[in-house]
Amino acid sequence: MNYEEYMKRCIFLATKAEGNTSPNPLVGCVVLDSTGNIISEGFHEKYGYNHAERNALLKLNPQAAKDGTLIVNLEPCSHYGKTPPCADLIIEYGIKKVVIGMRDVNPIVAGNGIKKLKDAGIEVVEGILEDECRKLNEVFIKNMTEHKTFVAIKTAVTLDGKIATFNGSSKWITAEKARNEVKNIRNRYDAILTSSATVLADNPSMQHRCNIILDRELKTINKNFKIYNNKRVIVFYDEALYSPEISDIEFVKTPTTNGKLDLDFVLNSLFKMKIMSVIVESGGHLNGSILKYADKIYHFIAPKILGDNTGRSCFDFREVNDINLSYKFQIDETKMFEPDIMLTYYPLKA
């Protein structure tokens, strides 16, 4: 039986819920009858809703699933959370074999779901497309293993690495297809993080369910800026300043280091606020400052050359005199959004 094809289907189903399951993982499930035919599918649609396995099985009469096979990209849960344990329902439905992409990194589960299935006499096959399954839930894995918020950066540049002219002109570097893809990417993350400099220069709307602004001196506290029209806005500012009283904005007093907001404090605060992932959309200074925390970069490149050595760069945060001091990355994927391209890359692990 070609488990890989069924696992690809699970991954596809799981992605339908991107942006809706945090802090839970993305999970898809396929159920086969005893003869190997697909009889049901499901995915975890939203945090607090049924898990993928439960969604798939509850569509069936238990007799139809008896002696069948269940394929799922993440180990079935074994504990009571927002919903009952999926492992128990799998056993109840008489499933004969369970095929799993990866073990759950949540210490509450972490092999306990597999043990429960095996103890019930169910055959368990592990590690099918494990790398793909781990990439699907890279945010969840970091949250669970490091107890930190996942940080992505999105930038759009010319071929010579510029995000704007010397006077700030930047609309539009990329074309419509690339800008539409940015909207899709944003939806995967719990929040967009930007700087007061970007708000002041571009007055972006950055439409999203949560926007975070690093505004040390509270320069943007003005409802005329479009970003404040979003559902939830969080502002980090210098703890030495007064506390603004604007009921629909969340203000967070933040310590400073060398005249800048402490990014360790900001990111630790976001995790405590259950913001499990952020995508940074800003200028070169914040992009550069937060680069050492970055888990992933989406780098759009337009087939244009500005050719101005005073133009603004996408990562502009230091001066070095040794090329060996470069930050190193591993390119994961290249996609065309004509006429532009998008590179996706990760920090190169030592």
- Amino acid at the residue 254: T
Residue 80: pLDDT band by 50, 70, 90 thresholds?
Answer: low
Report pLDDT digits (tens) over 294-323.
999 999 999 999 887 777 888 887 788 888
Per-residue DSSP letter, 128 = T
Q: List the beta bridge partners of residue 176.
A: none
Residue 164: pLDDT band by 50, 70, 90 thresholds?
Answer: confident
How distant, in Å, are the alpha carbons of 116, 182, 232, 237 from that of 271? 31, 24, 16, 17
Instruction: List, as one string, the DSSP characters of 256-277.
Output: EETTEE-HHHHHHHHHHTT--E
Q: List the beta bridge partners of residue 278.
A: 151, 191
Q: Which residue has the higher pLDDT, 107 or 310?
A: 107
Known catalytic residues are: 53
Q: What is the pLDDT of residue 21?
A: 95
3-137 and 145-347 in the same fold: no
Residue 221 scores a pLDDT above 70? yes
Q: What is the pLDDT of residue 78?
A: 82
Residue 166 scores a pLDDT above 90? no
Residue 168 scores a pLDDT above 70? no
Q: What is the pLDDT of residue 308?
A: 75
CATH superfamily label, 145-347: Dihydrofolate Reductase, subunit A (3.40.430.10)
Report d(CA 38, CA 2) in Å as an integer: 13
Buried b (16+ CB within 10 A) or exposed e, 131-168: ebbbebbebbbbbbeeeebbbbbbbbbbeebbbbeeee
Range of weakest confidence among 3-7, 50-54, 93-97, 166-170:
166-170
Residue 201 scores a pLDDT above 90? no
Residue 235 scores a pLDDT above 90? yes
Q: What is the pLDDT of residue 160?
A: 87
Q: Where are the domains of the chain?
A: 3-137, 145-347
Q: Which residues contact 214 (CB under 8 A, 6 or more apart)?
A: 193, 194, 195, 196, 236, 261, 266, 286
Residue 81: pLDDT band by 50, 70, 90 thresholds?
Answer: low
Contact 189, 278 (CB under 8 A): yes
Q: Tokens 């995000």 map to which residue?
A: 163
Per-residue DSSP letter, 147 = -
Percent of the chain, pLDDT > 90?
74
Segments in the chain forming alpha helices (H) = 3-15, 52-57, 62-65, 86-92, 112-119, 130-136, 138-146, 176-187, 196-202, 263-272, 284-290
Range of weakest confidence among 3-12, 55-64, 81-90:
81-90
Q: Which CATH number fits domain 3-137: 3.40.50.2300, 3.40.140.10, 2.60.40.1120, 3.30.43.10?
A: 3.40.140.10
Report d(CA 137, CA 14) in Å as an integer: 10
- Global model pTM greater than 0.85: yes
Of 133, 79, 78, nearest in space to 101 by CA? 133
Q: What is the pLDDT of residue 109?
A: 83
Percent of the chain, pLDDT > 70?
97
Q: What mean pLDDT do residues 249-272 have?
A: 95
Q: What is the pLDDT of residue 279?
A: 98
Q: Is the dihedral of CA 187, 188, 191, 195 positive or negative?
A: negative
Residue 79 scores a pLDDT above 80? no
Q: What mean pLDDT do residues 245-272 have?
A: 94
Report pLDDT digits (tens) over 242-253.
888 888 899 999
| Strand ranges across the sheet with 28-32 | 38-43, 28-32, 69-74, 97-102, 123-125
Burial class (CB in 10 A: 0-12, 13-18, 19+), 180: exposed
Q: What is the pLDDT of residue 163?
A: 84
Contact 252, 269 (CB under 8 A): yes
Residue 293 scores a pLDDT above 70? yes
Report d(CA 113, CA 22) in Å as an integer: 21
Q: What is the pLDDT of residue 337?
A: 96
Tokens of 59: 């569509």
